[in-house]
Copies of this chain bind each other. A is one copy, B any other.
Amino acid sequence: MTETPISRFPVVPLADLPPDLRERFAEVADRSGFLPNVFAALAWRPDEARAFFALHDALMDKDTPGLSQADREVLVVATSAANGCLYCVVAHGALVRIRARDRYLADQVAVDWRKAPLSPRLRAVVEVGVLLAVDPVRVTEAQQHGLRGHGLTEDDVWDVGAIVALFALSNRLVHWAAVPPNPEFHLLGRVPRG
């Protein structure tokens, strides 16, 4: 595993990054204990990396009554699994374990979200989200209205679609560059932190 390259494309040494990215990466590495590979893989295209992180932060660092941070991560795991994206399933699976404080939910959602123990609200979110991920032309306005019936605000509904769209992009970039998840992600949230 250790020899798997981080990307099929060039990986810029941290020291050579533009200052804003270097600072952000240092901060992330400091907080997580390691730098997620997707950061390293995107960095050779600073403008695209900045835009990607901006989209990510706008949609994922948000916690609303209708769509908690944990819910957003569950949606990412379900749609990334539908796209066979190992990096996103493993990295965001770790975040599901941490944010939902549930050691099993990420594995359940990744393999068979239909039988996973989701609330009716979150099940509706995941159902329409996976459809938007794999067959977007079939999403109906009625399904979006259904989400409102589960208590999502108009902003929450937009976020459902925008998160699925962002990871439609992310899954494909990761497949294209063949970015592997950091080994640390596989275990995060599975055992009590000592």
Which residues does A use to contact B, with CB under 8 Å?
1, 4, 8-10, 45, 47-48, 50-52, 54-55, 58-59, 81, 83-86, 89-90, 102-104, 107-108, 110-112, 114-115, 117, 132-133, 136-141, 144, 154, 157-158, 161-162, 164-166, 168-173, 175-178, 183, 186-187, 190-191
Q: Are B172 and A161 in contact (CB under 8 A)?
A: yes
Partner of A165, one of B4, B176, B190: B176
Once bound together, how far apart are the Cα atoms of A112 and B139, in whole Å?
Answer: 11
Partner of A175, one of B58, B132, B169: B132
- On chain B, the residues within 8 Å of A47 by CB distance are 54-55, 58
Partner of A52, one of B45, B55, B136, B173: B55
Once bound together, how far apart are the Cα atoms of A13 and B154, in whole Å?
Answer: 18
**Number of copies of this kind of chain in the complex:** 6
| A159 smallest CB distance to B (angstroms) | 9
Once bound together, how far apart are the Cα atoms of A8 and B8, in whole Å?
Answer: 39
Q: Are B117 and A158 in contact (CB under 8 A)?
A: no
| A139 smallest CB distance to B (angstroms) | 6
Q: Are A137 and B52 in contact (CB under 8 A)?
A: no
Q: Known: A137-B112, A158-B9. Is A1-B104 also a contact (CB below 8 A)?
A: yes
Once bound together, how far apart are the Cα atoms of A130 and B104, in whole Å?
Answer: 26
Q: Are A177 and B161 in contact (CB under 8 A)?
A: yes
Q: Known: A52-B55, A55-B52, A154-B10. Is A173-B169 also a contact (CB below 8 A)?
A: no
Which residue, of A47, A55, A132, has the highest number of chain B Cβ atoms within 10 A? A55
7 new A-B pairs (CB below 8 Å) besides A1-B102, A114-B137, A168-B168? A9-B157, A50-B51, A51-B58, A84-B136, A114-B138, A133-B172, A169-B169
Q: Known: A1-B104, A162-B176, A176-B162. Is A111-B89 also a contact (CB below 8 A)?
A: yes
- On chain B, the residues within 8 Å of A172 by CB distance are 132-133, 136, 161, 164-165, 168
